[in-house]
Amino acid sequence: MQGMLEELRAALWAVWNRRWLALGVAWGVCVLGWLVVALIPNTYQSDARIFVQLDDMLADQIGITAASRDKDIARIQSTLLSDVNLQKVVRSTKLGDKVTSPTQMQSAVTGLQKSIVVVAQGDPGSNIFKITATSGRRDLSDAENAQLAQDIVQQMIDIFKEQNLGGSRSQVRDTITFMDQQLAERSKQLQDAEQRRLAFEAKYPDLAGGTDAIIAQMNGYRANLRDVDADLAAAQSALAATDGQMAATPKTLVTPESGGPRAALAQARANLAAMQARGLTESHPDVIAAEKQIASLSKQAQGPGADFGTPNPAYTSLQGIRIERQAAVEALTSRAAALQQQIASVEANQTQAPAAAAEAKQISQDYDVLKAQYDKLLADREELRLRGQVETEHSSVKFNVVDPPSAPRKPSSPNRPLLLFGVLFVGIAAGCGAAFGVGKMRSTFATAGKLETAFELPVVGTISLALNEAARALEKKRRRLFYAAAGGLGGVFMVLLAAEFVGRSLVA
């Protein structure tokens, strides 16, 4: 703490000991700074607020929603600052007094775009708009700049009225006319595309749909072929099963009443079985005779003309089933062969005419695109025409001026009193800093404590400056001059501040 006090005392002594230097630097900085502040032109700002009311029950019933209305407002907001509208503002205000060439007009429009702001206040989609304009031209007085800012805002409101009352309806009519022209062109192009498609289909019927149609056709044939192959495999399997059943089923049924070798063989076997049932052994003469008879009849039954049995109904039924399944197999085989031939034909056409397939695809795509564009244009035109009729009979946009263009009473920028005070503060700080810096560069000691610290030796005492009567009188005179000069700096600040407020009162 003691060290800080020593430093503060040293700084104050250095500034006071070189006070004339500090005062001179302060005067120089302040005069230069105040001159710069004086050269900054005053900028005046005027603003107005308008409320746009969207209230039309008929528009709601036919589908003109709030979204389309907001789109109208956004359109007006964006076109309000167009070059055409800003040129109207330039011609109707003081901005156009010295505009004599297109280059000067473009320069004036560019500057006006930077000085006008149109924003929607409140929530997004709010119906309250604020128009703000600023003016700070050097060739005009403060009163003229204030009036110019107000005139610009008033002209923007007039343009806003013009855009709402006539611009929207005129634009609807122009848009419908343009869309009619586009529809006529699209209709002719659509007819030409239709003729090209019909001519191509007549020349290449298999390639009418282009590559996509060929691929779809090929995929269809292959899918049908897979189905037919599956059905053919199932039919062949059923036919094989039927053949197996027929091989295991006799064609006729043998009974004793049937006659013939097989019937005698059956009777001999029955007799042998009866003998064995009575307990006769194989060595019995009757059994031996019966076995010899069976052997002889067996050879006769295997010869030609030995089948004198009754036809087997099961075998006959299996024959009918086999005929049906054989017919199904032959039909599926023919169908598979036909599909394979069709696939081969399509592949041959695709291989032989790739350019024709690509042309078919392009023709189909062009026709689809033109048809979609035509349908969309037709729907948009009808919607716009209906909307135009509604706007003709029922005004869908109404607005009121909530706050008329304000008449600025004081400049919006710069804040000259604050700048004047800032320059004064910077000038005093610069003077003190210069005096302190010069004191730091000199090899002197402001206090005995700093001398003791520098040499690390105790200081026995200090001797004050002794002045005679003439020197004290001269020092007193110099102080009065210093106070007068310092007061003059403050007086100049007060005069400039008073002049600023007087200028504002003259504008008001």
* Residue type at position 222: R
The reported pLDDT for the residue numbered 58 is: 36
Q: What is the pTM of this model?
A: 0.44
Structure tokens belonging to residue 135: 């003016």
Inter-residue contact 436 to 27 (CB < 8 Å)? no
Domain boundaries, the chain: 2-39+414-507, 44-180+395-403, 210-365
Fold adopted by 44-180+395-403: Bacterial polysaccharide co-polymerase-like (3.30.1890)
> How confident is the model over 482-498, as a mean pLDDT?
89
Q: How confident is the model at residue 326 (pLDDT cuts 50, 70, 90)?
A: confident
> How confident is the model over 134-143, as a mean pLDDT?
81
DSSP 397: -
> How confident is the model over 277-304, as a mean pLDDT?
76
3-state SS of 184-234 is HHHHHHHHHHHHHHHHHHHHCHHHCCHHHHHHHHHHHHHHHHHHHHHHHHH
Give dist(CA 10, CA 2) in Å, integer: 12
Is the model's pLDDT at 86 over the cut of 80? yes
**Least confident residue range of 2-6, 20-24, 69-73:** 69-73
The reported pLDDT for the residue numbered 263 is: 65
Q: Please report, to the nearest 10 degrees, the dihedral formed by the alpha carbons of residues 34, 38, 41, 43 taken in order.
A: 60
Q: Kindly report, residue by residue over 421-467, the tens digit of the pLDDT.
A: 999 999 989 988 888 787 766 656 556 566 566 556 676 666 666 56
Give dist(CA 68, CA 386) in Å, integer: 14
* Residue type at position 500: E
Hey, which residues does 44 pair with through a beta bridge?
135
Give dist(CA 140, CA 138) in Å, integer: 5
Q: What is the DSSP string of 242-282?
A: HHHHHHTS-SEE--GGG-HHHHHHHHHHHHHHHHHHHT--T
> How confident is the model over 223-227, as a mean pLDDT?
88
Give dist(CA 225, CA 334) in Å, integer: 11
The reported pLDDT for the residue numbered 494 is: 92
**44 CB neighbour count, 10 Å cutoff:** 27
Is the model's pLDDT at 277 over the cut of 70? yes
- Is the pLDDT higher at 167 or at 6? 6
Q: Kindly report, residue by residue over 240-264, the tens digit of the pLDDT.
A: 888 888 777 766 665 555 555 666 7
Q: Which of 390, 374, 4 is nearest to 182 (CA)?
A: 374
Q: How far is CA 264 from the centre of its chain?
A: 101
Q: Which of 203, 185, 499 is nearest to 370 (CA)?
A: 185
Which residues fall within 8 angstroms of residue 48, CB to CB, at 6 or more apart?
Answer: 130, 131, 153, 154, 156, 157, 401, 403, 404, 405, 406
The reported pLDDT for the residue numbered 30 is: 93
409 backbone dihedrals φ, ψ, rounded to 5°: -100, -20
- Which of 266-275, 350-359, 438-447 has the largest mean confidence? 266-275
Q: How confident is the model at residue 76 (pLDDT cuts 50, 70, 90)?
A: low
Which residue intervals of 40-141 are DSSP H helices? 57-62, 66-79, 83-92, 102-115
| SS3 assignment, position 8 | helix
